[in-house]
Amino acid sequence: MEIVFSNPQNLWLLLSVPILIVTHFFVFSFLKRRAMRFANFEVIKRIAGPQGSTTNVHFVSSNISLLVLRVLAIGLLVLSSAGATLWYTGRASGSSFVIAIDASSSMLAGDVRPNRLDAAKSAAIEFVKGLPNARVGVVDFAGAPFVKQAMTDDLFAVRSAIQNIDVENVGGTAIGDALITSSNMLSGETNSRAVVLITDGQSNVGAEPLEGIDQANNYNIAVYTIGIGTEEGGSFIKTNLLSKLDEPTLIQIANSTGGIYFRAGDAASLKKAYDQISAITTKKISLGLSGIFLFAGIVLIFLEWALLNTRYRTLP
C-alpha cells in the first residue's frame, strides 16, 4: 500500500503550516496584551459575580483546538491539490496479461523436454486456455523484443501467436527491453495487469532490467518471472555452450513489482507455475484521495468557523 501524488510540487505548500502556527501565537500574544490594556475590570467582575476573580477571566483564548482544526484543514487541502492517490492490493474482476517469451537460441537447449522453447510455448498455450474474460498480448525477445500479438480478447489469436514463435535471429537476451515493451502494451488496460516473463538466461543487451522494473512500476504492473532450465544447464545448437539462469535478477524483478518468481526445471513445474499465476485474483487498485481530502478540508473549515462563533467565542 502506498500513496502517490500526480502534482507533487504542490506539497511545498505544506510549508505554510509552520508559518500559520507561528502567526497564530504571535497574534494571540498581541491580542492578549491589548485586552489587558483596555479591559473594564469592574464590568467583568460584575459579570463574573461577587465571588469571581478577574485573574481567572480569559480575555483572549489561545484556541489550540481551533488551531489544530485549521492546520488539519490546510494539510488536507494541500494533499488534495497534490493529487493524492492510494494504491493497494485488492480482488480483481478481470485480467490483462502480456506473455513475454525468451526466443534466443539458448532456448533450444534440451534439458527441458522437448526443448525449452517448445515447453514454454506449450505451457503458455494451456495457460491462455484457462483465462476467462482476459485480454492477452504476446511478446517474444532475443536481442530485441518483438510484438507477436497486440492486446486482444481473441484468445484463439493469442494461442496462434504463441505457437508461431520461433528462435529470433537477433542475438542476445534483452530482458529490460522486453519488460518496457510489455509494460507499454498494458498501459492502457483497466483490468488487473501483469506480465508473465519466461527466460533461460541473463540480460546482456539493451536496457538494464532496472529500467524495465521502473516502467512496470510506473504503470503499477506486476511481473511474474519464470526461470526455465535445470540447475546443471543445457547445451544448444550441438555445441558445448551452457545456458544458465540469472536467478537473482529474475527474483529482483518479481519482488520489485509485486510478482512472484518461479523456477521451472521441467515441463510439469512450468505448468504448475502458470497454474499458480492464473489462480491469482488480486490486482493493484487505485483510490483517488483528492476528492475525499477536499471534502474533509472544507468540513473542517466550517467546523472551525462554527466553534469560533459559539464555544470559543472571546470577549471583544
Confidence grade of residue 50 (pLDDT, cut at 50, 70, 90)? low
Assess whether pLDDT exceeds 50 at residue 56. Answer: no
* Domains in the chain, CATH or no CATH each: 2-87+288-308 (no CATH), 93-280 (3.40.50.410)
Share of the chain above pLDDT 70, in %: 75
Q: Count CB atoms within 10 A of the CB of residue 311.
A: 11
Taking residues 204-228, report their average pLDDT.
Answer: 93
Per-residue confidence (pLDDT) for residue 58, from 0 to 100 = 46
DSSP collapsed to 3 states, 45-112: HHHHCCCCCHHHCCCCCCCHHHHHHHHHHHHHHHHHHCCEEEEEEEECCCEEEEEEEECCHHHHCCCC
Per-residue confidence (pLDDT) for residue 28, from 0 to 100 = 63
Q: What is the pLDDT of residues 164-187, one digit of tens each?
A: 999 888 888 899 999 999 999 999
Per-residue confidence (pLDDT) for residue 256, from 0 to 100 = 94
Per-residue confidence (pLDDT) for residue 19, from 0 to 100 = 82
For the chain, where are the alpha helices, taking DSSP H only?
Answer: 16-38, 41-48, 64-81, 116-129, 155-163, 175-186, 209-218, 247-257, 267-279, 290-308
Q: Count CB atoms within 10 A of the CB of residue 303.
A: 14
226 - beta bridge partners? Answer: 198, 262
Confidence grade of residue 52 (pLDDT, cut at 50, 70, 90)? very low
Confidence grade of residue 31 (pLDDT, cut at 50, 70, 90)? low
Confidence grade of residue 47 (pLDDT, cut at 50, 70, 90)? very low
